[in-house]
Amino acid sequence: MPTDWVNCLIRIRDLRDEAAFVELFRHFAPRVKAFLMRSGSDAALAEECTQEVMATVWHKAAQFDPARASVATWIYTIARNRKIDILRRTRRPEPEDIPWGPESEPDQADIVMLQQESERLGEAIASLPEKQRELIEKAYFGDLSHSEIAEQTGLPLGTIKSRIRLALERLRHAMDKK
């Protein structure tokens, strides 16, 4: 039976439940580290960042709002932001920021457009039916395979694939019409 991560985080938030934190840590810390390494961090930076992320989860559990995001989405957002903070602090360039030749600065209009598209995508994801949104979050933010999602949720693999396909179609349509 899958762990109810929302309840786990609420126990951390309301009761400072260390057992709930240990359970959350054991599940998410290795996944956060893998996520950071896949996004270009070396093992040492990923480990440092993961420790900071999990400490933030403990200290800022009161800021978690299950109406706004799943536990996984909230934690991975913290991880992404923490990685950016660490890179800025250490002034290490992200791999995609390393110039490979003469490149002009991005146009301000392009930057604004990308920010607007990111906001629209976030709104589109939030507007998905809950069952579809949860599967999209597990597949894309939790980086789980369809089989792993089926194992975790107990849903048939065909149902997982259908819901994800429908969710992606809705997202494409939402992004095209705006």
Residue 5 has which token pair?
Answer: 């991560």
Nearest CA-CA partner of 82 in 32, 117, 126? 32
Residue 91 maps to which CATH number? Answer: 1.10.1740.10
Domain assignment of residue 51, yes or no: yes
User: What is the residue whose two structure tokens read 């039976």?
Assistant: 1
Query: Which residue did the predictor score with more confidence, 8 or 92?
Result: 8
- 1 and 65 share one domain: yes
Per-residue pLDDT for 1 more than 50?
no
Instruction: Kindly report the pTM of this predicted structure.
Output: 0.51
Is 70 exceeded by the pLDDT of residue 178? no
Q: Which domain holds residue 64?
A: 1-97
Domain-terminating residue out of 97, 123, 154: 97
Our count of domains for the chain comes to: 2
Do both 93 and 113 map to the same domain? no
Q: What percent of the chain has pLDDT over 70?
A: 88
Closest C-alpha to 121, from 45, 173, 163, 51: 173
Per-residue model confidence as pLDDT tens digits over 65-111? 888 888 988 998 899 888 888 777 766 555 555 555 555 556 677 67
Indicate if 80 and 136 belong to the same structural domain.
no
Q: Same structural domain for residues 74 and 121?
A: no
Do both 1 and 55 map to the same domain? Answer: yes
